[in-house]
Amino acid sequence: MVLIVAILLSFFLPSPWSWIVIALGVVAEVGEVVWGRRLARRWRPKTGAQTMIGETAEVVTQCRPNGQVRVNGEIWEASCAAGADVGDPVRIASLEQLTLVVVPL
């Protein structure tokens, strides 16, 4: 983006200054790309089923001990040793294969 602004600005400047502005635009563009790549490496997206641990879910079918819960709009099989009724909020404690282990709040 900086390089585009420098090129447009160079049309309105006399000859030696237009080349200087373009050169500074190239340097600024390289710096912007390096800075953006460092930010992209730092902010990795969190994905996968392991990111659900610690979140709150709502019981859809009774969990005594097995049932289903809704988390982030998705329905998952769940296991709750203490038991939970429909509509109860539960916390996701762990994940065993594709079954969430939940505890009542």
Are 88 and 71 contacting, i.e. CB atoms less than 8 angstroms apart?
no
CATH class of the domain whose range is 49-104: mainly beta
In contact, 62 and 87? CB cutoff 8 Å: no
Tokens 């050169």 belong to 23
What residue segments make up the domains of the chain, in order of their start?
Answer: 2-42, 49-104
pLDDT in tens, 13-63: 898 899 999 999 999 999 999 999 999 888 877 777 778 889 999 999 999
pLDDT in tens, 73-90: 999 999 999 989 999 999
For residue 59, which of 76, 38, 36 has the smallest C-alpha distance?
76
Q: In whole numbers, what is the pLDDT of the chain averaged over residues?
A: 90
Question: How many beta carbons lie within 10 A of that of residue 87, not counting itself?
Answer: 8
Task: Using a cut of 0.75, tell me whether the model's pTM lies above it.
Answer: no
pLDDT at residue 45 in the model: 72
pLDDT at 1 over 80: yes
Q: Which of 79, 78, 72, 82 is nearest to 104 (CA)?
A: 82
